[in-house]
């Protein structure tokens, strides 16, 4: 067990965090509904989440300012102030994209709800400490400003650790299909006669869940686990040429699995389909 693991477990088991977290998540979802703005915040246009990329700017600027305080002394005072200003300017969009991502995931996982709230709160405190640091520096209290910056850096490291935990241990952000995209060899998937036109059907081919969709004489096949948070797409709706995720409303093209609307950022693995004597066979399309 890592030194910080007990603290993370305590945070994830603290039910007292649920009340404010649920209220915040609900407000964010109501304020940021499906559409171009949400797609922009989610990173649908980019192909992966925007939030991790922006955190590098905030963390890098703030910590660089504190490192200059330690290593360059008064010679780095002007540069430290500029770096803090860059971090403060980058913080609002970074926080907004992070809250958007978290609000789409907190409903289904108590651990994500609680750790995410503490993560966001810690980062907000760090930003406030750096804002106070900048104000102190400009008021002539450079030493006090440096101490406030170091305090902000300490809090920021804790928030960053929780952010990494949410992404790497709780799977917030990574493509949920990346480890089972499906085989490139032909494999039987279903009896063609069992597929009803317009109704998504879930099958498992090897270890891969697959959504089959018949439309008259055509049969489409894409990965059934939503790349966003792993919900079963076969439980969603068919809207024209799009499959709509039942959990968060992501829309995927039934033909090639491409993302039409977020919050998903990664496409669904798609499959080539053939009918061999009444048996539907599939194989994954090359990337």
Summarised one tens digit per residue, pLDDT across range 224-251 is: 999 999 999 999 999 999 999 999 999 9
What the chain holds in terms of domains, given with CATH numbers, is 5-168 (no CATH), 187-284 (2.102.10.10)
Give the per-residue pLDDT at 216: 87
Give the per-residue pLDDT at 75: 87
Give the per-residue pLDDT at 287: 66
Please give the residue that has the higher pLDDT: either 2 or 56: 56
Give the per-residue pLDDT at 125: 98
Give the per-residue pLDDT at 179: 87
**Helix 142-168 vs helix 51-71: angle between axes, to the nearest 10 degrees?**
150
Answer for the pair 153, 88: CB distance below 8 angstroms, yes or no: no
Mean pLDDT of 267-280: 94
Q: Is the pLDDT confidence value at 145 over 70?
A: yes
Mean pLDDT of 5-15: 95
Instruction: Round to whole Å and give the CA distance between 126 and 133.
Output: 10
Give the per-residue pLDDT at 255: 94
Give the per-residue pLDDT at 74: 83
Mean pLDDT of the chain: 94
Which region among 82-86, 117-121, 161-165, 175-179 has the lowest average model confidence (pLDDT)? 175-179
Q: Is the pLDDT confidence value at 189 over 80?
A: yes
Largest Cα separation within the chain, whole Å, is: 83
Judged on CB neighbours under 10 Å (0-12, 13-18, 19+), 275 is exposed
């Amino acid at each position: 067990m890592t030194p910080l693991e007990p603290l993370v477990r305590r945070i994830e088991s603290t039910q007292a965090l649920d009340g404010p977290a649920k209220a915040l998540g609900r407000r964010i979802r109501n304020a940021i509904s499906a559409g171009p703005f949400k797609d922009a915040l989610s990173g649908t246009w980019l192909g992966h989440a925007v939030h991790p990329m922006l955190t590098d700017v905030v963390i890098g600027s703030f910590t660089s300012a504190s490192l200059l305080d330690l290593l360059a002394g008064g010679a780095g005072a002007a540069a430290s102030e500029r770096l803090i200003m860059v971090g403060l300017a980058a913080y609002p969009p970074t926080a907004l994209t992070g809250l958007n991502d978290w609000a789409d995931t907190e409903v289904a996982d108590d651990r994500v709800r609680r750790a995410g709230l503490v993560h966001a709160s810690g980062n907000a405190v760090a930003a406030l400490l750096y804002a106070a640091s900048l104000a102190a520096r400009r008021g002539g209290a450079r030493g006090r400003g440096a101490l406030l910056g170091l305090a902000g850096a300490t809090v920021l490291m804790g928030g960053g650790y929780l952010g990494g935990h949410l992404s790497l241990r709780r799977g917030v952000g990574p493509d949920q299909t990346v480890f089972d995209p499906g085989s490139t060899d032909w494999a039987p998937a279903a009896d063609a006669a069992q597929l009803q036109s317009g109704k998504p059907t879930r099958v498992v081919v090897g270890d891969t869940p697959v959504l089959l969709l018949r439309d008259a004489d055509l049969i489409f096949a894409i990965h059934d686990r939503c790349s966003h948070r792993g919900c079963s797409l076969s439980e969603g709706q068919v809207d024209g040429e799009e499959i709509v995720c039942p959990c968060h409303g992501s829309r995927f093209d039934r033909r090639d699995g491409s993302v039409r609307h977020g919050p998903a950022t990664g496409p669904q693995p798609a499959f080539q389909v053939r009918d061999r004597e009444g048996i539907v066979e599939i194989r994954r399309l090359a990337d």
